[in-house]
Structure 1
Amino acid sequence: MPQKSRLWKTIQIFEEQSRNYTNIDFSKAGNKKKILITGFDPFQLNPDSNFNTSMGDDAANTFNPSGIVALFLNKNQESLNQNFYIQTCIFPVRYEDFDNNCVENVVSKHFHDVDMIMTTSLNGGNNWFDVEGDAISYRGGFHDNMCIGGQDYSEYNYNSSRFIPDVNSQHNETTLPSMKIFGNYLSININNLTVRFDNSKLNSLKEGGGGNYLSNEIMFRTTKIRGASKKPVGHFHLANLGTIAKVKEVIEVTKEIIKKIIS
């Protein structure tokens, strides 16, 4: 599709509006703490995805609680009754959008207005939550929802044109306050669910705490914008509880983490 065509422009407007890129507004926050939360589309919508196979599921039943969390928290009345004001958006699982700076375009616009930024995504097949200690500049190349990427998945003939490893492997660390969340521990229990602080990959050349897929990359790009600022910015990996019916439990844990950070 030719860029700048009428159809292309229409699609861009739809993306911006439906994902809430252009509707984020903190003007009514008053004296409340201003928080930006981001979620993702479902990962691996391709029906022959290794991810879906490993989950024992198919593309039609794939879900990502981070997108649901973002939808729930945006201007949520319960949150409005607290001392914070949340705005959210949902990013696509597409390398092209990331390479066109979809994250930077949103985060840079609001960085100086907010008190906290927390990106979220699904923690693979893990039934625990992770506050990621770091993110790496390296992109691992697992295929996206447009079947782009994947040197490791060449048997599917996926396009690897977006797979660009960073030989410098820079790590950016979180500024989400681990002491406020965990105290002197590396994990805590919230509503009988485990939340961990994961800094196990700080010396890796190819992985951050959240691996090297787009959930890692969104944290890297966001913390790069943060730079040397101590403002709380980082990534929260949401537990996979096996069914969308348990998303309320994921929302409750996420809300408790936000309260711990912003208190």
Structure 2
Amino acid sequence: MTESVRGRARMLAATAIGASLVLLPGATGAQATSPAGHAGPAGQCYDRTVATTYEETRIDTPALPGGVQVPSRLVEVGGFAPFVARLTADLCGVRSVREADKLLQTRGAELWRTAVERAQGKRWMGSIERYDDRPLYWSRLTGTRDLRQWTPRFPVTAAARASLLKTFEYASRGIASTDFSSSRTVTRVLVSGFDPYQLNGEIRRSNPSGASALQLDGQEYQVGARTVQIQAVMLPVTWSGFDLGYVEDAFGPHLTRNSRERADLIMTISQGGRARMAIEQWAGAWRGGSADNNNEGTPELVPPVTNWPQPSTNPEFIETTLPFQQMIDAGTTPWPTALNPRICEWTGNTRPDPAKVSCHDNGPSADAQAQAGGGGNYLSNESMYRSNRLRLALGATDVPGGHLHISSLVYPQDPLAIIDAPFAADRAQTIEQTVALVKAAGAAVS
């Protein structure tokens, strides 16, 4: 992310944070246009035959027999339906790409800040409990779908539409608002979580790492004479999003040597195995190609990015520098916390022969070619690899960095229930333990 993008986000913060999600009676937004360019009711500037991403098609996932349509129901019970309707209507009233960009910055920041305030109990809305990350996910996805199908009265090039999508994504994921204090008495901690994923098999999925990010964003606490500040972002579960530089744009501005808001610790967080919290010792340079939220994936080396410095030679493995022992010693509950030293590698220049993969806990061999880090070779591993590859390339070797895998969730036995008491309690305790582990890491570097 450039300084101009972050500066623009700061300028909009005051209006975005204070914006209301409530549509006044009779309010329909500015005058809209139809796909043909003629004036019409708000919301009629869309061509719903335009292709969307595979991920966005799930918005209309049919309900199970006798049940509700899960995505729209989650938006409704989360209290975000007015936001979705308002953005759909307001896009029909803008008169230029520049005006659309400003609108999307404002609405995206509003969506993120409202989700954070709701999660932290600072704003009461909807009827579902505050730890739920799913209303934010489906609301954002509805917005990106609308942007792809938006047909305003003025021309929009493919490049301009892609830029508008990125504006909305970065604002609604918190990437455009990771502002820290520059005080020398502040310890700055930057973390990331993830969207829900594996939705083909379970449309009700939540992601406790993303829900933890909502709990952590903007939190402050004291460690002796120092104040620890935490900022959080939400990453997509798409290879294409990572290829566009979402990870580097989120962490990069806080890893440059001359940044007045330089991080003191970075941590990527994702959902891992059931009933355990694993601090991954190693991240690998290989992406396994498992299907992402767009049902895409190709086995290959993690590609470089062009807008941030990269090491002259990409490391096959990157080792954590998180204060893992202090995190373990914090004694958080209910799940055990441990360092995971597992790796999978090829040796003897045998990549990518599947028969030649060796997995062990002994660290990389001298001639290792990465096949998987401790957390596998999906996007969680890649979030650690990319953020720490950039950290090393920028010379931020004094900034601890690494990845935390947290316990996965068990969903309601009733297939028609989007939430029940055991599921909610399980998710809440996993989130609270994650928050405690991040705070322990922040205390350790203070």
Please classify the TM superposition score into its range, dividing by the shorter chain length.
0.7 to 0.9
Give identity over the alignment, percent. Answer: 32
Code of the aligned partner of 1:218: S
Name the counterpart of 1:87.
231
* TM-score normalised to structure 1 length: 0.80
Code of the aligned partner of 1:221: R
Query: What SS does the corresponding residue of 1:38 show, helix, strand or coil?
Result: strand
Larger Rg belongs to? 2
Name the counterpart of 1:107.
251
Post-superposition Cα deviations, 1:31-84, rounded to whole Å, max 9, x if no partner, equal 221110100001222x2xxxx3xxxxx1x21111111110111113xx346631
Q: What is the CA–CA distance in structure 1 between the aligned matches of 2:214 and 2:374, rounded to whole Å?
A: 25
Name the counterpart of 2:419.
none
Q: What is the CA–CA distance in structure 1 between the aligned matches of 2:183 and 2:166, rounded to whole Å?
A: 28
Q: Does 1:176 align with 2:322?
A: yes
Name the counterpart of 2:438.
258
Code of the aligned partner of 2:376: G
Q: Does 1:34 align with 2:170?
A: no
Give the superposition deviation at 1:29: 6.2
Name the counterpart of 2:214.
71
Structure 1 unaligned blocks of 5 or more: 53-57, 150-159
Name the counterpart of 1:157.
none
Q: Does 1:247 align with 2:427?
A: yes
Relative to structure 1, is the Cα distance of residues 210 and 29 closer, same or farther in structure 2, using a 3 angstrom cutoff?
farther
Contact map agreement 1:139 1:212 (CA 8 A) in 2: yes
Q: What is the CA–CA distance in structure 2 between the aligned matches of 1:94 and 1:20, rounded to whole Å?
A: 17
Query: What SS does the corresponding residue of 1:248 show, helix, strand or coil?
Result: helix
Q: Does 1:97 align with 2:254?
A: no
Name the counterpart of 2:300.
164
Contact map agreement 1:138 1:169 (CA 8 A) in 2: no
Q: Does 1:23 align with 2:23?
A: no
Contact map agreement 1:175 1:230 (CA 8 A) in 2: no
Q: Which residue, out of 117, 136, 145, partners 2:266?
A: 117
Structure 2 unaligned blocks of 5 or more: 1-147, 149-156, 257-261, 303-313, 344-362, 412-422
Post-superposition Cα deviations, 1:3-50, rounded to whole Å, max 9, x if no partner, equal 313x333222110110111111003766221110100001222x2xxx
Q: Does 1:129 align with 2:240?
A: no
Contact map agreement 2:212 2:435 (CA 8 A) in 1: no
Relative to structure 1, is the Cα distance of residues 241 and 171 closer, same or farther in structure 2, using a 3 angstrom cutoff?
same
What is the total number of aligned residue pairs between the two structures? 231
Query: What SS does the corresponding residue of 2:300 show, helix, strand or coil?
Result: coil
Q: What is the CA–CA distance in structure 1 between the aligned matches of 2:249 and 2:271, rounded to whole Å?
A: 23
* TM-score normalised to structure 2 length: 0.48
Taking only aligned residues, the RMSD between alpha carbons, in angstroms, comes to 2.3
Contact map agreement 2:174 2:234 (CA 8 A) in 1: yes
Q: What is the CA–CA distance in structure 2 between the aligned matches of 1:20 and 1:250, rounded to whole Å?
A: 22
Name the counterpart of 2:339.
197
Q: What is the CA–CA distance in structure 2 between the aligned matches of 1:257 and 1:29, rounded to whole Å?
A: 24
Post-superposition Cα deviations, 1:179-224, rounded to whole Å, max 9, x if no partner, equal 32336xxxx8522311111012134741101100000001001111
Code of the aligned partner of 2:321: T
Q: Does 1:219 align with 2:387?
A: no
Q: Does 1:144 align with 2:271?
A: no
Give the superposition deviation at 1:106: 1.7
